[in-house]
């Protein structure tokens, strides 16, 4: 169960890590699902990126009352030390898996031109962008789409518009997660040989 004061819907720049989570109690969920539940119920955009180390099905238990969101995030990362977190300048929460920063995060996006796209198709459109395909070719790393956790919440009747405008891909994914009400996205490298990265809305 989770109750939260000071929901960040529509106001991510106002230090979401300091909002108060009045009650968060969860057990028997893996770490990524725990982040998903926290992001969705606090309306806080979170992005998970990095390389899986070991099994991705570690189960954790979290219990917090009247704590800032930062303390809940600290608890999750303490329960699964493969993860760490920081707040980006735009107010979103960046969650790091392992020590490697994926270069794909910082690819400049220009090909998204603001046309409305159904939420179900937006990540597939990102995977097929020329910028992503070029990075994939140059780095010999397959980039694909996978649906895990909460995933896209909106239906095809609620299209979303994203303008690349030279922004890094992680900021584009932040916008998608917020506009599609999924709130959490992930970019996870599962394999080195062959290299494979999966995007999840």
What string of DSSP letters covers 7-71? --TT-TTS-GGGSEEEEEEEEEEEHHHHHHHHHHHHT--EEEEEE--S-S--EEEEEEEEEEHHH
- pLDDT digits 0-9 by tens, 161-177: 888 889 999 999 999 88
pLDDT at 40 (0 to 100): 86
pLDDT at 132 (0 to 100): 94
Average pLDDT of span 115-123: 80
pLDDT at 22 (0 to 100): 82
pLDDT at 2 (0 to 100): 38
Whether residue 194 contacts residue 112, with contact meaning beta carbons closer than 8 Å, is answered with no
103-200: what CATH class? alpha beta
Candidate ranges 8-17, 48-57, 67-76; pick with highest mean pLDDT? 67-76
Lowest mean pLDDT among 12-21, 90-99, 131-140, 150-159: 150-159
- pLDDT digits 0-9 by tens, 54-84: 666 789 999 888 899 999 999 999 999 999 9
- Residues of the chain with pLDDT > 90: what percent? 37
Whether 153 has a pLDDT exceeding 60, the answer reads no
pLDDT band of 106, cuts 50, 70, 90: very high
> How far, in Å, CA of 84 to CA of 68, rounded?
16
The domain ranges of the chain are 2-97, 103-200
Whether 148 has a pLDDT exceeding 50, the answer reads no
Asked if the domains at 2-97 and 103-200 fall in one CATH topology, the answer is yes
Q: If you average pLDDT over every residue of the chain, what do you get?
A: 82
pTM of the complete model: 0.85
Element housing 160 (H / E): strand 160-163
Whether 15 has a pLDDT exceeding 80, the answer reads no
Give CATH for domain 2-97. Answer: 3.55.50.60
pLDDT band of 28, cuts 50, 70, 90: confident
Lowest mean pLDDT among 3-17, 46-60, 98-112: 3-17
pLDDT at 1 (0 to 100): 37
Determine the Cα angle at 157 with ends 16 and 1, to 5°.
40
């Amino acid at each position: 169960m989770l109750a939260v004061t000071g929901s960040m819907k529509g106001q991510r720049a106002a230090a979401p890590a300091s909002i108060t989570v009045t009650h968060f109690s969860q057990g028997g969920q893996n770490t990524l699902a725990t982040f998903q539940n926290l992001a969705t119920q606090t309306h806080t955009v979170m992005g998970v990126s990095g390389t899986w180390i070991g099994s991705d099905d570690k189960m954790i238990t979290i219990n917090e009352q009247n704590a800032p969101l930062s303390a809940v995030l600290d608890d999750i990362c303490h329960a699964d030390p493969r993860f760490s977190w920081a707040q980006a300048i735009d107010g979103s929460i960046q969650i790091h898996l392992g020590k490697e920063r994926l270069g794909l995060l910082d690819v400049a996006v220009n090909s998204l031109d603001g046309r409305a796209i159904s939420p179900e198709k937006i990540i597939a459109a990102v995977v097929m962008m020329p910028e992503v395909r070029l990075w994939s070719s140059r780095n010999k790393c397959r980039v694909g789409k996978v649906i895990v956790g909460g995933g896209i919440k909106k239906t095809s009747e609620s299209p979303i518009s994203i303008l690349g405008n030279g922004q890094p891909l992680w900021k584009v994914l932040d916008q998608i997660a917020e506009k599609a009400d999924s709130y959490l996205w992930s970019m996870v490298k599962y394999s080195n040989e062959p290299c494979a990265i999966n995007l999840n809305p």
